[in-house]
Amino acid sequence: MKVLLINKFHYRKGGSETFYFTLAGALERKGHQVVFFSMQDERNEPCGQEEYFVSKVDYNDREAGILSKMKAGLRLIYSFESKNKLEELILCEKPDLAVLNLVHRQLTLSVVDSLRKYGIPVFFVTHDLICLCPNYMMLSGGAVCEKCLDGRYGHCVRGKCVKNSFFKSALAMLEAYFYKWRKTYDKIDLYLAPSRFLADKLQAAGFTSSPVVFLRNPLPADTEYGLNAAHENYLLYFGRLSAEKGLFTLLKAVGQMEGVPLLIAGEGPLRGELEHFARENGLTGRVSFLGYRKGRALWEVVEKSRCVIVPSECYENCPYTVMEAMAKGKPCIVSDMGGLPELVENGATGYTFRAGRAEDLRAAVEKLCSLKEPEYAAMCENALKKAKREFGPERYTDRLLGEYAKIKSRHGGKWDE
């Protein structure tokens, strides 16, 4: 079987790309062939399909002229280059199944037209909320917003929900209406939601007549699982430093406690403000900003932590931060947003708290820190067992291929003629 994986980035940029390359490896280990379709970039990992990749698009180029921005804006909605390049790749490679990941804006859902033309089943892994919300996060003015769930996307423009820009918000609104008018989402055979939360949101919104199934994303096959019940006395956050991650709530909670250091590993637009807040509130000696870390430099910090905290104030889907921490045998304290409570069993593998409530987060940390060593060790072991049981790539690919087998009979693909 030959599987076509489509994602706008072909380098390891974030969680979506972790999934993209993890799935590729898992399919290949089962004896299947994988081909790729993406966007050109000097950071791309090598593969045999680069000649079909579309030209690089940067919608954040501030030096671009008005005409260039208008052309880019039209391409944001429908890319004929993506459609044509993908058709060339299809005719060359003849894939049996296509799995879409991040495609909006740079590649666009024009790729669906090429896939449907040749009767290729199409799965869409919903890494975010863009099918329901033009800014993909259901955030407006820093707060959760569900106004566009009714299918009227003008809310996005009024709130300037896309990067606080009227122009970008208007383009995002037009994109959403364009796909709605063309019934593009009905042309996708199956939606794979990495959290039950997102699966429920997608089904309740009624944006498509196609089925939606819950299937949690897997950890990479080379993940090093381990029980790390021994710890140093510090809390850890690792990830992007941005407003929706609830980091000010985390700093406030730390300020309400005594003697518990916090390490923050990551970079992002909020770092300067967070450092300023820590200085102004007397937290400089207790909060350390480590900057961006990866690989062994990151895992050593994770393994030695008392717990990992994910205080997000947005609808998280299935963040790798929690899954990776649990694979290291670390309890997690997470907010009650989106799919986070599905990953952490309160009192067994960590604790949950009400998003945005520093006092609730403080109480959760104090509860964890008050555990006796045997209780803490049991929580670490529970976290590791859950990671091994539920986050493996074999489980994912078996289910994916099972779903493909169910719909294969409905497609008289060109390659069967």
DSSP secondary structure of 319-356: -HHHHHHHHTT--EEEESSTTHHHHS-BTTTEEEE-TT
Please tell me the predicted confidence (pLDDT) of residue 315.
95
pTM: 0.92
**Cβ atoms within 10 Å of 186's Cβ, excluding its own:** 12
- Decide: 49 and 24 in contact? Cβ < 8 Å: no
- Give me the residues of the chain with pLDDT under 70, please: 59-73, 410-417
C-alpha Rg value of the chain to the nearest Å: 22
Please report, as a single letter, which amino acid is at residue 14.
G
Contact partners, residue 160, CB within 8 Å, separation at least 6:
166, 169
Q: What six digits make up the tokens of 194? A: 């990495």
Q: How far is CA 186 from its chain centroid?
A: 23
Please tell me the predicted confidence (pLDDT) of residue 73.
65
Distance CA 152, CA 145 (A): 13
Please tell me the predicted confidence (pLDDT) of residue 417.
47
Q: What six digits make up the tokens of 47? A: 């593969």
Please tell me the predicted confidence (pLDDT) of residue 211.
96
Query: What is the bridge-based pairing of β-strands 139-140 and 143-144?
Result: antiparallel
CA angle 96, 98, 102 (to 5 degrees): 170
DSSP string, 77-139: H--HHHHHHHHHHHHHH--SEEEE-S-TTTT-THHHHHHHHTT--EEEE--SSTTT-TTSS-E
* Three-class SS state of 289: strand
Please report, as a single letter, which amino acid is at residue 271.
R
Residue whose C-alpha is closest to residue 229's, from 358, 328, 335, 112: 328
Please tell me the predicted confidence (pLDDT) of residue 59.
61
DSSP string, 367-398: HHHTS-HHHHHHHHHHHHHHHHHHS-HHHHHH
- Decide: 34 and 3 in contact? Cβ < 8 Å: yes
Contact partners, residue 331, CB within 8 Å, separation at least 6:
307, 308, 349, 350, 351, 368, 376, 379, 380, 383
Distance CA 402, CA 400 (A): 5
Residues 79-97: pLDDT tens digits? Answer: 999 999 999 999 999 999 9
**Cβ atoms within 10 Å of 96's Cβ, excluding its own:** 18
Spell out the domains of the chain, with CATH numbers in brackets: 2-220+393-412 (3.40.50.2000), 235-390 (3.40.50.2000)
Q: What six digits make up the tokens of 48? A: 């045999």
Please tell me the predicted confidence (pLDDT) of residue 395.
92
Distance CA 34, CA 89 (A): 13
Residues 323-351: pLDDT tens digits? Answer: 999 999 999 999 999 999 999 999 999 99
- Decide: 55 and 40 in contact? Cβ < 8 Å: yes
